[in-house]
């Protein structure tokens, strides 16, 4: 089963980028989903991610998602309120004592039942406004989900970089200890000055301190992940044998993404929750402006009345209507709603620019970071060979300890840079899959 099946959201094809989101999903799922699912399924193991299905449950239980879910329920309740309308039946009752000129007194009563009536297309508009509000709430939930996944991915790969740094520094600690033993042997044999042993010991202690500091940073990150994402599987972040782990990572290159960059760009733009939310909010604002314009014609109040006058000698039944007179208040409300709709349109345009720029950046970073990693890996391999030769040369007395230590430090820097570049590339791939809704996609409903 591919990621799309796990996520519950089929992928989006480039050929369908101009279609509505529902049509894009249907067309793509029928034509391209099985092939893309297989390709992405082959990529996922190389990304060193937490289990997909279990992590999805962790994400769904996070406070931001629960709050967004409550927001959807709030939008549904508001939709019911709009459909019902603000007018309610009102019952009136009164009693009075009447006295005429000759001194007779009469007890009189009257009752009335009245209700405001939505005038014109207000009822239909309110219903549509409620439905659009629910849609906006669902898009807000999906956008919150997406942003939460992005944050999780960023925190996860920060921890992966910290773990890789610990592995590199642990290996350097072992090599520094070996260097110290070589220096001690040469000093004991009278082949090197006492200063070499002191320098080698200081280097060994420096390496141990750097490793300890890196382990502390990793532990802090792991603790933060446990607190922020309860239940998240952290097995992939546990430390293992440094030498074997480094050998495996340096021999494994980040996977290449299937399909062209333009296809991924269209996938991201075709179904983007941030853009869909901005569109939904603009639609709500436009319809709210129309509703405010309709309110410039006030709703009439219609009622029926029954009265018993002159002690029951006269009985009255009547129908009455009350029509408020529209004034500056309603006109100002209509202008304010229109201004809000215009602002929402501008926010939509700004969001569209932002989303397109972010999509292009995600696609370009995926390719660029992989290229950077390839170069840094070549540098790391070359510097490792230089350091190895320098260590052997010092043991034979061909170079000074200072030169050997400098080569080892250069190799360390190259290893750390190569590891960071590798995890940068893996994070860029993961981010691209998340933005294209191929990994941990939200269920809007």
Can you list the residues of the chain whose pLDDT is less than 50? 1-31, 243
pLDDT at 10: 34
Q: What whole-number percentage of the chain has pLDDT above 70?
A: 88
pLDDT at 11: 36
pLDDT at 120: 82
Q: Compute, in degrees rounded to 10, the torsion defined by CA atoms 268, 58, 70, 285.
A: -10
pLDDT at 196: 87
> For 202-219, what is each residue's pLDDT tens digit?
989 999 999 999 999 999
| CA neighbor of 165 nearest in space, from 433, 417, 427 | 417
pLDDT, averaged across the chain: 85
Task: Look at phi and psi of residue 440 and say left if phi exceeds 0, alpha if psi is from -120 to 50, else beta.
Answer: left
Identify whether the C-beta of residue 26 lies closer than 8 Å to the C-beta of residue 4: no
pLDDT at 15: 33
293 alpha-carbon distance from chain centroid: 36
The Cβ-side half-sphere exposure at 267, using a 13 Å CA radius, reads: 28
pLDDT at 252: 65
Identify whether the C-beta of residue 156 lies closer than 8 Å to the C-beta of residue 50: yes
pLDDT at 245: 52
pLDDT at 326: 84
Task: Look at phi and psi of residue 38 and say left if phi exceeds 0, alpha if psi is from -120 to 50, else beta.
Answer: alpha
Q: What is the DSSP string of 157-215?
A: HHHHHHHHHHHHHHHHHHHHHHHHHHHHHHHHTTSS-HHHHHHHHHHHHHHHHHHHHHH
pLDDT at 137: 93
pTM: 0.80
pLDDT at 3: 38
- Report residue 122 as tokens: 């207000």
Please tell me the distance from the alpha carbon of residue 397 to that of residue 193, in angstroms, as a whole number: 12
CATH superfamily of 3-435: Outer membrane efflux proteins (OEP) (1.20.1600.10)
pLDDT at 246: 53
Query: For the chain, give me the number of helices (H) and strands (E)?
Result: 12, 4
């Amino acid at each position: 089963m591919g990621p799309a099946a796990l996520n519950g959201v089929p992928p989006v094809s480039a050929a369908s980028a101009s279609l509505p989101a529902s049509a894009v999903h249907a067309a793509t799922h029928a034509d391209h989903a099985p092939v893309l699912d297989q390709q992405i399924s082959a990529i996922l193991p190389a990304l060193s991610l937490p289990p997909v299905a279990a992590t999805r449950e962790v994400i769904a239980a996070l406070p931001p998602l629960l709050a967004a879910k409550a927001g959807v329920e709030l939008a549904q309740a508001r939709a019911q309120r709009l459909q019902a309308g603000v007018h309610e039946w009102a019952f009136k009752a009164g009693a009075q004592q009447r006295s005429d000129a000759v001194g007779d007194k009469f007890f009189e009563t009257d009752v009335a039942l009245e209700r405001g009536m939505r005038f014109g297309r207000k009822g239909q508009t309110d219903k549509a406004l409620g439905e659009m509000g629910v849609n906006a709430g669902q898009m807000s939930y999906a956008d919150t989900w997406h942003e939460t996944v992005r944050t999780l991915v960023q925190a996860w790969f920060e921890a992966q970089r910290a773990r890789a740094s610990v592995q590199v520094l642990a290996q350097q600690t072992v090599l520094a200890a070996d260097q110290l033993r070589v220096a001690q042997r040469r000093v004991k044999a009278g082949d090197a000055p006492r200063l070499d042993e002191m320098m080698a010991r200081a280097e060994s202690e420096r390496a141990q301190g750097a490793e300890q500091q890196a382990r502390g940073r990793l532990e802090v990150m792991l603790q933060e992940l446990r607190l922020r994402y309860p239940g998240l599987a952290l097995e992939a972040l546990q430390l293992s044998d440094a030498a074997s782990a480094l050998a495996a990572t340096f021999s494994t290159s980040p996977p290449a993404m299937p399909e062209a960059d333009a296809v991924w760009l269209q996938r991201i733009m075709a179904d983007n929750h941030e853009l869909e939310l901005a569109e939904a909010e603009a639609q709500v604002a436009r319809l709210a402006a129309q509703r405010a314009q309709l309110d410039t014609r006030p709703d009439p109040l219609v009622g029926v009345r029954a009265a018993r006058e002159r002690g029951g000698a006269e009985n009255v039944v009547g129908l009455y209507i009350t029509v408020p007179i529209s004034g500056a208040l309603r006109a100002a409300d209509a202008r304010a709603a229109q201004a809000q709709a215009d602002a929402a349109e501008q926010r939509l345009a700004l969001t569209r620019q932002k989303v397109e720029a972010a999509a292009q950046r995600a696609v370009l970073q995926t390719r660029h970071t992989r290229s950077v990693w390839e170069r840094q890996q070549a540098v790391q391999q070359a510097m490792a060979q230089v350091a190895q030769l320098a260590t052997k040369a010092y043991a034979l007395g061909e170079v000074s300890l200072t030169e050997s230590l400098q080569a080892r430090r250069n190799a360390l820097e190259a290893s750390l840079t190569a590891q960071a570049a590798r995890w940068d590339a893996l994070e860029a791939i993961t981010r691209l899959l998340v933005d294209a809704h191929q990994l941990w996609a939200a269920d809007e409903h």
